[in-house]
Amino acid sequence: MLAIIVDKEQKKKDIALGTKALILKDGINNITIAQIAKAANIGKGTVYEYFKNKDEIVFELVEILMQEHNERKEKQLSLHVSTREKVKSFFSFFYADEDQELREIYKQFTAIALSSTNEEMVAFQTECYTLYEKWMENIIEEGIEKNELKSEAKELVMGIFAFAQGTFIMSVTTSAIEDLKQKIDTQIDILFDLMEK
């Protein structure tokens, strides 16, 4: 009898993706390992073969969804000509319908990461921040090279990024922002009016 060879990384992804609907519906804090196992069509013990706890499932799910998001974002950015439109498109993650599931999972992940000392989560957050900051830096530098923006615009990359992320966090933790897209677009327009040549 031949032994079945299991691709452990793929199995881990399959379990996380199998629980996505449950996590979106009830939130990771409101579900049990038994519910996770049932949603993923596996035994409860199998969950523990791949994950130490529920938080790691959210972490795995965020990694999968972020990779899909990044591939979609790359294509989306290539459709825009002006730097202003690319920057607006870049930050559409915070309000676009196609990213709604990722945003919801990411909110749960952020809540876990803020109270965790898990080095892998910290490394992942750092990697994401570095990737997105570099991506934004490249968009701005391209705008400078195309003579759309003043050279000083590159000094605002971190500020633009921090503004958009902070506005998003405010929008999900308060009722102070009614139209997130409008708020982000308006602020980007004001910044670009100052940065454009």
Q: What is the pLDDT along the chain (197 residues), one digit of tens a residue?
A: 556 666 888 999 999 999 999 999 999 999 999 999 999 999 999 999 999 999 999 999 999 999 999 999 999 999 999 999 999 999 998 888 888 898 899 888 888 888 877 788 888 888 888 998 999 999 999 999 999 999 999 998 888 888 888 888 888 788 888 888 999 999 999 999 998 98
**Could you please report the per-residue DSSP string of 32-54?**
-HHHHHHHTTS-HHHHHHH-SSH
Quick one: which H or E segment has residue 109?
helix 100-114
What is the spatial distance between Cα 142 and Cα 161, in angstroms, rounded to a whole number? 17
The reported pLDDT for the residue numbered 82 is 94
Quick one: which H or E segment has residue 108?
helix 100-114
CB 36 within 8 A of CB 16: no
DSSP 5: P
The reported pLDDT for the residue numbered 142 is 95
The reported pLDDT for the residue numbered 149 is 94
